[in-house]
Amino acid sequence: MDRRPWLALALVLSMVLAGCGGTAGVQTRDPFSVPETSAPDPAEDDLVPVDAPFSPDPTENVLGDPSVFLDSQATRLDGTSYTLDYELDVRYENGTTWNNVVVDAQFARNRSIYVSNVTQRGRSLNVTRLAYGNGSVLYAAQGTAGLSPAAANFSVVRTVDGAPVEPSEGVTLRALRPEFLYNGFASMNVADVRELDRTPAGIRDQLFYVRATEVTQPDTLANDAFSNGEGVQVENATLEAIVASDGFVHEYSIRYTVVREDGTRLHVSRRLVYRHVGSTNVTVPSTWGIDNATVTRG
- Within a domain: residue 246? yes
73 within some domain: yes
Q: How far apart are alpha carbons 82 and 96 in whole angstroms? A: 33
Domain-located, residue 288 = no
Q: How far apart are CA 207 and CA 274, in angstroms?
A: 14
Number of domains in the chain: 1
- Give how far the C-alpha of residue 133 lies from the chain's centroid of Cα atoms, to the nearest Å: 19
Tell me what the mean pLDDT of segment 207-235 comes to: 81
| pLDDT tens digits, 243-284 | 988 888 999 999 999 998 888 899 999 999 999 999 999 987
Structural domain containing residue 263: 10-25+48-279
Residue 208 has pLDDT above 60, yes or no: yes
Query: Which of 139, 266, 244, 253 is CA-nearest to residue 195?
Result: 244
Task: Provide the whole-model pTM.
Answer: 0.77
For residue 14, being part of any structural domain is answered with yes
| Contact of 262 with 255, CB cutoff 8 Å | no
**Residue 138 φ/ψ, nearest 5 degrees:** -110, 115
116-137 pLDDT, tens per residue?
A: 999 999 988 899 999 989 888 8
Question: What CATH number corresponds to the domain at position 219?
Answer: 2.50.20
Residue 284 within any structural domain of the chain: no
Q: Is residue 4 a part of any domain in this protein? A: no
